[in-house]
Amino acid sequence: MSQPIVHLSGVGKRFGARHVLRGVDAEVRAGTIVSLVGASGSGKTTLLRCLNGLEAIDAGRIVISGHVIEPSPSDDALTRLRADVGMVFQDYQLFPHLSVLENLCLAPQVVRKYSRAAAEKRAHALLDAVGLADRHRSKPTELSGGQKQRVALARALAQDVKVLLLDEPTSALDARTRDDIVRILRELVQRGAEPLTLVLVTHDLPLAETLSDEVWTLVEGRIAHPGGSAA
């Protein structure tokens, strides 16, 4: 069995007086797909955001791909963390002033200091993998929802991340497009030289069960059945 790539112990987070996470303990093994499910307000999106440092945790400790996230991380630590942990937002948040290709190349060039040629070569390969090789010149506003989702996926992967976090990856898509995304996600996990680990938040229980190796159900800020399947 592979090593745990995400390790959570006693992770707590509150917004004002409201405790959203109340001591989460869990592990994710490298190369697996984990789905976070639970009612609205159960804290699943907050937990996902904590894994990427978009929310600071108040208590406990997260170790993810070798990076330790503590309650007040430095900017440098966050930058290093995010080079290994990518994120796909529910509303994609593509950069509307940049073309599809430029969306993919921005972080590799600015953060990783890749040459333009190297960044573009990698971007073209990723666009090819998500089936959008011919749309690299398009602006995000010219794309359909499913195409935007695929660009967002490719953008998050452009930096050779080890862990990919996805917030409701299929919520805005119709059934056929959703199947496309599921197929692409599976391929992504399987095809890389290094194992890619996916953690996704979803409302879609059938998706969680067909796609994931593990399903975690969050209830009142804790994981109800770590390692088990959703009820």
Partner 1 sequence: MAPAVKAGVWLAFVAAGLSTAAARADLADVERRDELRWGGDLQGGEPYVFEDEEQPGVLKGFEVDIAEALARELGVRPKLIQNDWSNLVPALERGDFDVILNGLEETPERRQRIRLSAPYYTYGETLTVRAGATYEDLKQLEGKRVGSLNQTVASDILKASHAELVLYEGQQEPYLDLAKGRTEAVLLDHVIADRYGCVLPELRCLPGDVARGHYVLGVRQDSPALARAIDGALEKLSRTGELKGILTRWKLWDARQPPLQGASEPPVVAEPKAAAPPSVEAPVARRFTVGHAVLFLRGAWVTLLISALSFALASPLGMALATLRLYAGRAGRWFAAAYVELFRGTPLLLQLYVLYFGIADLVRLSPLTAAVLGLALNYGAYEAEVYRGALSSVPPGQTEAARALGLSFWQALRHVVFPQALRTALPAVTNDFVALLKDSSLISVITVVELTKRMTILAVELRDWITPGLMCAALYFLMSFPLARLARRIERRLEPSAAAADGAAT
Rule CB under 8 A: which residues touch partner 1?
52, 54, 75, 78-79, 82-83, 86-87, 89, 91, 93-97, 106-107, 110-112, 138-145, 147, 155-156, 159
Closer residue to partner 1 (CB): 5 or 105: 105
Rounded least distance, CB 205 to partner 1, Å: 26
* Rounded (5°) CA angle 34-185-111: 90
Cβ neighbours, 10 Å, residue 14: 15
Closer residue to partner 1 (CB): 63 or 77: 77
Closer residue to partner 1 (CB): 162 or 223: 162
In contact, 53 and 69? CB cutoff 8 Å: yes
Rounded least distance, CB 95 to partner 1, Å: 6
In contact, 110 and 132? CB cutoff 8 Å: no
User: Would you call 151 helix, strand, or coil by DSSP?
Assistant: helix
Rounded least distance, CB 20 to partner 1, Å: 18
Closer residue to partner 1 (CB): 25 or 91: 91
Name the amino acid, one letter, at 172: A
Q: Which helix (H) or strand (E) holds 33?
A: strand 33-37
